[in-house]
Structure 1
Amino acid sequence: MLCLISLLVGSQKLSAQAPLFPKNSNYIVENWDNSNGLPQNAVFAMEKDNHGYFWVATEEGLTRIDGYSAKVFDQENYPLMQEQTYYTFYKSKAGIWATGDRSIALLEKNIRKIIDCTGITNDTWIRAVTEIDGGKLLIGTDAGDIHQWENGTFTELEIWKHEFPMEIYSFFQIDSYKLLVGTTRGLYELNLKANTKKLISADSLGVYKIFGTSKEIYIFSPEEGIFQMNKGYEMEKIVPISQIKDINLSSLIVDSDKRIWAGSLQQGLMMINQGQVTRFSYPELKNYTVRKIIKEDNNLFLGTLGKGLLIIKPASVNQPNHEELRNKNVKAIYQSEDSSIWIGTKANGLHQIDGSKVKIWTQKDGLIQDNNTSLASRNGKLYYSSTSGISVIDIQRGKIIEQITEEDGLRSNYVHALFRDSNNRLWILTRKGGIHYLDENDKPQKIKLPEKFDATRFVSALELKNGQLLIGSMNEGILRLEDTVFVDNKRLPLAPGEDVIYSMYEDAENDLWFGTHGGLVLLKGDQIKILGKINGLKSKTVYSITDDGKRGIWISNNFGVQYFSYSEIKKFKESENENVLISSTLYDERLGLPNSETNGLIFPAAIQDYSGKIWIPTVEGVGIINPQTISNSPNDSISFYWDELRIGEEKSDIQGPIRIPEGVRMFQISFNLIDFENPAQYSLFYRIDNENDNWLPIKNQRQLFFNGLKPGDYTLEIKVLRYGEEDKVYSLPIKVSALFFETLTFKIIIGIVAILLLYFILQSYFNKKLKKDLEEKVIQRTSDLSQANEKLKEALEEIENQNIIMKQLTWNHSHLLRAPLTRAMGINHLLINYSKYEGIEKSKEELEKELLESLKQVDEIIKDTHTKSENLTK
């Protein structure tokens, strides 16, 4: 970050300061060197590109600065660079053309292009470059040649022919087709439209630098000095070389007030106004040579040899313009009724600022002690407290008139705080349980307190809107008084040692805030919340709380002064999340505070004067903050740019939506917020899931790292808060590409394949099972058939045997039946055909009887045959 910040007022003569800065204003010096961003401390060239980035060329590479951080471009990090060192810059609509010995780089947010010039720099090197119509370049060399570069091709400029040796030092464009060329053998005009060359000075004049504007052109010659040129190319010498022999010609510029600036080869700066040369220096420059200068509004950029880049700019925190207070360890600050400011110190007594005058009281003047603890006033008297009691000063007469000590009724001579309430009572808070007020006779009256407070230290006071008085203590919490009577006591939930109430504040909703050794404590009704480091507090210790009455509150701590807007305070009060992070702006040494360590255990530890300015005591002087500057500053737009995408060692400029290649899960996105006035005014938060309202803080970095994002479309958002108020949200679409096996198509294919595979597995399973079942059935069937065949064989054999038997039986029965049937038939015939049976010798009855016997005999044979058949079947 930024370093080496110091105040300029008091370290320069007023005569040298007046042309630079408004009267009585404070400025800081901001130094960029190889300890905080530059690769090396010798600056050869510097310029702002069209985006607003500030580029610096050094011996070890190029550096791009946004006001908050620096980015180095060298051959190691950017192999496309053909050279490490570039010497001159020329700004055009395309960007900054930076020339090395044998190459040219185009700078615009990043390195846009590298032009290899080795083909035109044999035995020479590049001295100057300019851009003409159509994006063409004219390149001048040390050998005196001019080459034109167009569409990647170099050609010699036809109209430029020189009969004698010369060196080209500079180009200066008058309009789109006419330019001046400064050489060691005179000044030339080139008319590219008419294709003409004209010498407009003596060829003996060495023109090393042409600078200014098209309306105000200046020429520098190391033999003659500085000339001003009119439209007819007539040159008027305005400064002879005898007055500026030590000038560094490469640093010559003209500002908007037509003043010429230059660095001295010996020491410091020189400014030329209407022919008058004024020299001045800054303590930070010491004996370092200034090589380059850019004057921009109230900012002065100085490129040095050995000191890097110095930026001199107005301070956001001013200091009293009094040498008597510089570097003093400041204690209590107070403004009395007559508007004069009273400032106590640790070892240098009391100082009164009344207009442009400073009056000092010390022990030599009758002050009770030089170490101050608190200040207050009443009835034309100023009360100065210390560890030895109180000194009383008659303000009008400017004299110490009395002292108040234990002998006058104080519980202790160690007075922590003095406070005047709305009833014009002056309260005196001491060690050993001492709460006092001065009665109408200016005599201390002690408040009766419970015995447990006999050893308590009382260190702060606040009168509430309802007229009650709160007294802050060390380790005993808050005491509440009604009129002059003790009412009650409340302890805060702080660890031992943290329960020190340095300051108190009642906000617009009548909620109470306590600056303690354990954070900023909020008492909202009966609920207590602690605003600590996890919520955005820079330091656990809070010395003072000051409401500016317009935009927010200011607290002092061990790291400076921290500003919280009302909206952020409200966010903290209403959030149910104890870890909610709120935005703030830190004012420290980088913005002009004499020292980032402010003073505490004094009362008051900060004041707001009648004009609204806030005075902050530090260990090295007083800082004065004007809250009104916050109200005015957010009118200008924010210069926010997405910078670079980095994947592994590969870097690419972000110019639109970005795509992360397949298989990449780790990448880095950088961005910049350009501000050279006050980078501390911004608070940044980001999120990459639009459906999630959880914004994550961006603290001290300007790059975001991502790892493990699943394939898909995202939107990276960065929310910018300015002085705690939301200003704008910047979005960057990001597409994380998927490998083929991560795509939906692949998943569908896998699903289909899985279904088909399952189908084939099931089919195979069921086929195998069916085959097995069939095989078992076939085996069983075969077995059954085999058994059936055996049985069939047995049955066939049995049938054959039975057939044989049947044949025999049939044959036997046929013979047995034949006789009785024949007889029965014969008898029946006789009975039918013969009426008389005399010849037969048998009667009819006998024949019938014999027929019946024959039929019975047949019946018996049939039954016997049937029986035998049944036995045969079984």
Structure 2
Amino acid sequence: MKTFYFKARLKLLFFLTFFTLFSQTQAKNLSSLGFKHISTEHGLSQKTVQSIYQDKHGFLWIGTQEGLNRYDGKNIEVFRYLSSDSTSISNDVIRDIVQDKAGNLWIATNGGLNRFIGRSQTFDRLSIQDKNQAVERLNTLFSDSSGNLWIGSDGNGLFFLNSTNPTTIKKFTRVPQLENADVRAIFEDSRGRLWVGTDSQGLFLIEEGADNFLHFQASQSSENNLSHNSIRAILEDHKGHLWIGTRGGGLNRYNELSSSFEHYKSSPRDSKSLGHNRVYKILEDDLQRLWIATDSGVSVFDSARKEFQRIRHYSSQNSSLSHNRVLSIFQDKGKLIWIGTSSGLNQWNPHSASFIHYRKISEISESLSHNHIHGFAENKLGTVYVATFGGGLNYLKEGESQFNKLSVSGKNTDEIIDEYLTTLMVDNNNQLWIGSVSRGAFVYSEDHKQLNNFKKENGNPQSLSDNGVTDILQDRDGEIWISTYRAGLNRKNKQGDGFKHYRKSEQPNGLVNENILQMMEDDDGYIWIATYGGGLFKLDKNSNTFTNYANDPDDQKSLSGNNVTVIFQDKMGRFWVGTQGHGLNRWEPEARRRGINQFKHYTTESGLNSSTVNGVTEDQFGYIWVSTNRGVSRLNPETNQFKHYNLADEIHYNELNLGAMLKSSSNRIFLGGLNGISTFLPDKISENLVVPNVVLTSIESENRILEFDKALTDISQVTFDHNDYLISFEFASLDYARPSKNNYQYKLDGFDPEWVNNGTLNRATYTNLPSGSYLLRVRGSNNNGVWSEDEINLTVNILPAPWLSWWAFTFYAAGFCLLLIFLIRLQARRLASQEVFQTLVSEKVSEKTELYNKNTDFLSAKLEQLKLKTNIDLETGLSNQKYLSELIFNLLQWINLNDLSQIRHQFCVLLVRLPELNDNESTKNEIYSKTIKQVAHHIQEKNDPNTIIVRWGMRDMGILTLVTEGPDELHRSLTVLSDEIKTMFEIESEQSEKLSIKMSFALAPILGVNQHFFDGDRVLMMIEHLLHLQEANSSSKIIGIEKLNQIMSETLFTQLLESEEMTDFEKVFDIYNG
């Protein structure tokens, strides 16, 4: 119940989050959706994708005009028609794919119907007959709620395969008009009625059990009829509305109350109408949006506005839809949208819907003017300005979804905003300050539509020091500061248009580096300057003095690098200083105010995804967002943990730009890079919470080709022989959001001591495995670290070499006996051939035969005794040390296969040694045996089911007991037991002199650093050696191992067994002496 509750909550959380995100994205802009493309260069058999389907295991099946493809996220396996192979698919032109309720995968082709046979990866071709002729050209398939398979043919009507008789295909004859129809679409609605769409005869509605049917056709005399007779798609949405896609008449919605159709058609004058009137597929996604596949891209229907947003191919955009002719559309179990076109397969990941992307699209006028973004600024009305490097100034008004270019000019004809801009700033008067790469700074007043230009003027010492502007800042006093890359800092005079210059100075309190990248004013009113090559400078604007904070090679806590790219102060007063090549620095306010050059560093070793930082900001929750050359990352300053969002991989060609980062007044973060703008709300980011299914995709042996009687997805065990020296297993985590980021873990129980973290590698390889039975366990994750709930569990049997098998040893024994008999008889014949000794030989042979028989009986009896002795001590009737060794080994193995944190109690392994006697061997053995039997009887009288006693040696006994109390209680119990054994021994030996009973024990499993090191044999070896040391060197009665304090290795273990000093053990273990 708890598991179900957790899963339900997880799915609900994902749905609500995703719904909100997708709705926002949908309302904003769908035209710039970025798609991942899969085509022939990735292994697809052909580019025209006519059908897409995901089977029950999670494999994606893709039907093209030249073969069937199965995709697992990494590999594409192609199935083609082979004229020489009757088990291959019957034709390469794949028209439709569907899986029925029984799990059968059906494929409709231009050469008939095929059923996929998973165990052999082959196909069963089913014959369809009509009027004694084979029906081969099939258009569509549909599996209804009863498990029946419906088959639409090209010119031969409708056929079906009954679930109760899945071998015979029958023709549907209840509707005469369908006799020779070209059936293109089949659908069962929520009431169990069958809808059949044809290529030229319109739409049919067939109710089960009814003799009549309804026939809908287009009519020029009525606008309420079907818009076109060529039907390609039928769908019922979540509200019960029936949608019909036509090839030429657009989209229809059926109103059952009025028996009329509402038409949605394309209009050249309306960009919010259907994209094209030729509709091929209709999909309702999990958020109840209708996706319409047309001859002009995809149209997504907004039912509230009754508007369509168009998703099209743009030749200028590599990430746009690969082609405008969309033939198929599908949503998989992970909520990803797959779109099949005439030029390959497209995948859109809705988990990235929280990141809205704006790019320059040549085919759309209301898009960015250039994709290289260098800066942002926001005015008081929420308008966001964008500085591009090559496209001038763009702006996005609050509530709008498209950018526009701002083209303004000043009084003079040369006062035109440069196309190559570097930075933006909105001052207290709502004026926009614009920095350019070569024409200085511009000031634009939107209220007065006025533009002014500040630039370097030869002969004017109060003009701007250089025309290459890197940053513009207005301080708390309203003063304007302009930085340059080659000519230092400019401070605008309060009166007039002149500037005071801060240039390179050799003075101790001067500016020693003029290559300024960014400026910031802190909460104390100081101006901070980030320089390239000179580190960080603090300017006291009242005294005009600078303080430099730079990297000190001899101080590891100093600023990590001198190429400072960005500086930011958060709400807690902490400084975040980004560098090029040396990561991010965190400066606590106490150290900063005291002028201490000590920073906390974040590098790629500590979780940062790139060594170059391009921007830093803080969201409303206190998280620090860092843009780098590898995307954008969120840092939790309390835990110092990063969460990476690698937009760079797909959107910005692996780089975001320096200074191109803004958090707007609406808490939206804007990022600029080499391929446009990415923007998101930090609290609306979607995480991929889909639990993936992990499946086995390949089992291989280097030595031979393997064959199986089941599909790999259903196989439970595999057997290899001794010649299979190298075996490998491939698996796939069937989540397609970012399959290259899916991770894998595997473990071969009986061989691997721990789970193997395999990263993104989906293969496990083993060489020269010893014979035996193993269990291969595999689990996989999605790109967000959500692991599969079900593991692959595959029994792996390794057969021994024939000459080492049990029957081989049986043969060896029988052969030896036969050889012995042969030699005896050979000797007998040799002697019998001598007539002189014939009588003697006869007697000898009789004697030898009798002796052989006696020896055989004697050996058989001894063998039975030996079998008994392997587990039982004959003198006491107790189990012996072999039994205890096996018992401890099995207990520890069971515990190690389970979670140690769930083991509530340990067990105590105890060896007891009785004192040495001076009597003869027979007498001593009798006394020791009686004493040990007395101890066993004493323990049995206590009726303790958790205690087992065995005879370990002549004067040794072994005891195994479950520890249910604390250590003090255990020590008291052992002391009492020692006194009781001493008393029993004194009675049996009739000796009253001072005797000493020695005990050594260990608590198992031995807890500590790497307790898995100690198996049963190692535990017993350690206790025996302790007992030896105790008897030789210690006056203690009881010595025990209670905990491991160091990492144990084979070398250290061997040294301890060779040691004669108890102190060596005390360095490694917690030792009890009592």
Pairwise CA distance, 1:586: 0.8
Sort the Cα spacing of 1:103 and 1:614 in 2 relative to 1 into closer, same or farther, 3 A. Answer: same
Are 2:552 and 1:503 equivalent residues in the alignment?
Answer: no
Q: 1:696 to 1:117 in 2, by over 3 A?
A: closer
Worse-superposed segment, 82-91 or 437-446: 437-446
1:458 shift after superposition? 2.2
Counterpart in 2 of 1:360? 407
> Residue 146 of structure 1 corresponds to which residue in structure 2?
159
**Alignment equivalent of 1:44, drawn from 43, 50, 68:** 50
The separation in 2 between residues aligned to 1:521 and 1:111, in whole angstroms, is: 55
* CA separation of 1:661 and 1:515: change in aligned 2, threshold 3 A: farther
Q: Does 1:74 align with 2:79?
A: yes
Output the amino acid matched with 2:483. L
- Give 1:450's aligned residue: 506
Decide whether the 8 Å contact of 2:33 with 2:357 is kept in 1.
no
Q: 1:317 aligns with which of 356, 360, 382?
A: 356
Distance across 2 between alignment mates of 1:352 and 1:325 = 9
1:606 pairs, out of 649, 652, 661, with 661
Whether the 8 Å CA contact 1:172–1:180 is kept in 2: the answer is yes
**What do the CA deviations read for 1:759-799 (whole angstroms, capped 9, x no partner)?**
xxxxxxxxxxxxxxxxxxxxxxxxxxxxxxxxxxxxxxxxx
Q: Does 1:56 align with 2:50?
A: no
* Residue 421 of structure 2, aligned match among 358, 366, 372: 372
Residue 638 of structure 1 corresponds to which residue in structure 2?
A: 691
Aligned equivalents of 2:569, 2:119: Cα separation in 1: 51
SS in 2 for 1:22: helix
Letter in 2 for 1:213: E
What SS does the aligned partner of 2:657 have?
Answer: coil
Shift of 1:117: 0.8
Shift in alpha-carbon separation, 1:394–1:468, aligned structure 2, 3 A: same
Contact kept in structure 2, 1:513 and 1:520, CA below 8 Å: no
Q: Are 1:173 and 2:222 counterparts?
A: no
Spell out, residue by residue over 1:703-741, the C-alpha distance to the aligned partner (whole angstroms, 9 max, x if none).
33434485655544445563xx87788754455543426
**Aligned counterpart, 2:898:** none
**SS of residue in 1 equivalent to 2:613:** coil
* 2:342 counterpart (291, 305, 323): 305
Pick which of 408-417 and 37-46 moved more.
408-417
1:299-448 alignment runs, 5 A limit: 302-309=339-346, 316-319=355-358, 323=366, 325-336=368-379, 339-351=382-394, 353-355=396-398, 359-361=406-408, 364=413, 366=415, 369-380=418-429, 381-386=431-436, 387-394=438-445, 396-401=447-452, 403=454, 405=456, 407-408=461-462, 412-421=466-475, 426-431=480-485, 434-438=488-492, 441=495, 443-444=499-500, 446=502
Relative to structure 1, the CA distance from residue 401 to residue 108 in structure 2 (aligned partners, 3 Å threshold; closer, same or farther) is: farther
Label 1:608 to 1:679 Cα distance change in 2 as closer, same or farther (>3 A): farther
RCO higher in structure (CA 8 A, sep ≥6) = 1
Aligned mates of 1:97, 1:49 — CA distance in 2 = 11
* Residue range with higher mean Cα deviation, 30-39 or 434-443: 434-443
> Aligned residue for 1:669?
730
- Once residues 468 and 409 of structure 2 are traced to their aligned partners in structure 1, the CA distance between those partners, rounded to angstroms, is 18
TM-score (norm 1): 0.63
Corresponding residue for residue 271 of structure 2: none
8 Å contact 1:129–1:139 — kept in the other structure? yes
In 2, the alpha carbon distance for the partners of 1:488 and 1:216 equals 70
Separation (CA, whole Å) in 1 of partners of 2:201 and 2:283: 23
Which residue of 2 is the match for residue 22 of structure 1?
27
1:781 — aligned with what?
A: none
Shift of 1:73: 3.6
- Corresponding position: 1:704 with 2:753: no
Please report how far the alpha carbon of residue 191 of structure 1 lies from its aligned counterpart in structure 2 after TM superposition.
Answer: 6.8
> Residues 324 and 408 from structure 1, CA distance in 2 versus in 1: closer, same or farther, beyond 3 angstroms?
farther
Secondary structure of residue in 1 paired with 2:640: helix
Matched-pair identity in %? 16
Residues 517-556 of structure 1 aligned to structure 2 (within 5 Å): 517-522=580-585, 526=598, 529=601, 531-532=603-604, 540-550=611-621, 552-556=623-627
- One-letter identity of the residue aligned with 1:74: F
1:477 alignment counterpart? 535
Alpha-carbon separation, structure 2, partners of 1:623 and 1:717: 34
How many residues of Structure 1 are paired with residues of Structure 2 in the alignment?
700
Distance 2:769 2:573 in 1: 49
Q: 2:579 matched to which residue of 1?
A: 516
Residue 96 (structure 2) aligned to one of 80, 88, 91? 88
| Change over 3 Å in CA distance of 1:100–1:337 after alignment to 2 | closer
**Contact 1:248-1:290 within 8 A present in 2 as well:** no
Q: Which has the higher strand share?
A: 1
Shift of 1:57: 0.9
Contact 2:149 2:161 in 1 (8 A): yes
Match of 2:678 among 611, 619, 623: 623
Larger radius of gyration: 1
Q: Which residue of the other structure, out of 636, 659, 671, is the alignment partner of 1:566?
A: 636
CA offsets 1:469-512 (integer angstroms, 9 cap, x no match) = 54322223333456653233322769xx9853212356789876
Q: Which amino acid in structure 2 is aligned with residue 563 of structure 1?
A: S
Residues in 1 aligned to 2:180 and 2:385: alpha-carbon distance in whole angstroms: 68
Which residue is equivalent to 2:853? none
Aligned mates of 1:583, 1:558 — CA distance in 2: 15
CA contact (8 A) 1:318 1:625 kept: no
Whole-Å Cα distance in 1 between the matches of residues 393 and 137 of structure 2?
63
- 3-state secondary structure, aligned to 2:583: strand
Q: How does 1:200-219 map to 2 (within 5 A)?
A: 200-201=214-215, 211-213=234-236, 216=241
SS state of the match for residue 660, structure 2? Answer: coil
What CA distance in whole angstroms lies between the structure 2 residues aligned with 1:422 and 1:294? 56
2:328 maps to 1:292? yes
User: Which consecutive unaligned segments of at least 5 residues does structure 1 have?
Assistant: 1-17, 572-581, 757-874
Q: CA shift at 1:87, angstroms?
A: 0.9
* Conserved 8 A contact 2:374-2:657: yes
3-state SS of paired residue (2:40) = coil
Q: Which moved more, 1:43-52 or 1:519-528?
A: 519-528
Unaligned runs of 5+ in 2: 1-22, 220-228, 268-273, 315-320, 588-596, 817-1074
The alignment partner of 1:35 has SS state of: helix
* Amino acid paired to 1:605: A
Contact 2:483 2:516 in 1 (8 A): yes
Residues 330, 344 of structure 1: 8 Å contact kept: yes
Structure 1: distance between partners of 2:302 and 2:620: 44
- Counterpart of 1:86, as a letter, is I
The 3 A distance-change label for structure 1 pair 112 and 342 is: same
Q: What amino acid sits opposite 1:331 in the alignment? A: H
Distance 1:117 1:428 in 2: 78
Per the TM alignment, residue 457 of structure 1 is displaced from its structure 2 partner at its CA by 1.4
For 1:586, which of 640, 646, 657 is the aligned residue?
A: 646
CA distance in 1 between counterparts of 2:439 and 2:571 reads 38
* Distance change >3 Å, CA 287–CA 531, structure 1 → 2: closer
Whether the 8 Å CA contact 1:685–1:719 is kept in 2: the answer is yes
